[in-house]
Amino acid sequence: MQCRLKKKNLLALLLCLILSVALCVTALAINENNTRGAVFSAELEKAQINLSDTDQTVTLILKANKKIAMDSFQANSVCSDGITLSNVAVVDFTGFLDFNSDTGIISWMGMDAVEGTTLFRITFKIPANTPAGTYTLGVKDIWITEDAMEDYWEKTASATATLTIVSYSGTAGVG
């Protein structure tokens, strides 16, 4: 009798272990599906510019690495040392777009969910005589709704690129 109980206990323990592993794998899969950080990427049209005594601009292209459906988007711009957000344009779809150059928040809302890979062209203003160096530009704290009545995900993704400002010496065109 005692041996039989041990076998039942062992079997129950084994079933609990199998169930626990199955639940963990499911939880990991769900978590993996909800991790959206790799969905977005950012590219600068010019990754390097020369130091200048006049204001300059650089445009960052915000992309989705795979097609996503969205009906709203919001993110905070990433820029530093006097560099500011100066313009945002939507690519290949329409809707209400707003960007606040004071807070650096970009917002977009459409009536219907759109799918796309290139989402926004974001222009940053580089003030005159910004020191040579490397600067990070892009967006963070991305908040997207895929269906206004259902799913949303937030503060899980960022997309940045590095701008290099180089100093130069000599006179342009001499040579």
Return the pLDDT at 66. Answer: 73
Answer for the pair 135, 162: CB distance below 8 angstroms, yes or no: yes
Question: What is the model's pLDDT at position 64?
Answer: 82
Please give the biggest Cα pair distance in the chain: 100
Instruction: Please give, one letter per residue, the 3-state secondary structure of the chain.
Output: CHHHHHHHHHHHHHHHHHHHHHHHHHHHHHHHHHCCHHHEEEEECCCEEECCCCCEEEEEEEEEEEEEEEEEEEEEEECCCCCEEEEEEECCCCCEEEEECCCCEEEEEEEEEEEEEEEEEEEEEECCCCCCEEEEEEEEEEEEECCCCCCEEECCCCEEEEEEEECCCCCCCCC
pLDDT reported for residue 92: 79
How buried is 79 (Cβ within 10 angstroms: 0-12 exposed, 13-18 middle, 19+ buried)? buried
Q: What angle do CA 27, 31, 36 make, to 5 degrees?
A: 170
Q: How many residues does the chain have?
A: 175
pLDDT of residue 155: 61
pLDDT at 22: 47
Residues of the chain by 3-state class (helix, strand, coil), percent to 5:
20, 50, 30
pLDDT confidence of residue 151:
57
What is the per-residue pLDDT for 162? 95
Note the pLDDT of residue 7.
63
Mean pLDDT, contiguous 10-residue spans, the chain (175 residues): 57 57 38 50 94 95 81 89 91 87 90 75 95 94 73 70 85 46
pLDDT at 33: 40
How far is it, in rounded angstroms, from Cα 165 to Cα 36?
31
Q: Are 102 and 35 in contact (CB under 8 A)?
A: no
Q: Can you give the pLDDT at residue 152?
A: 57
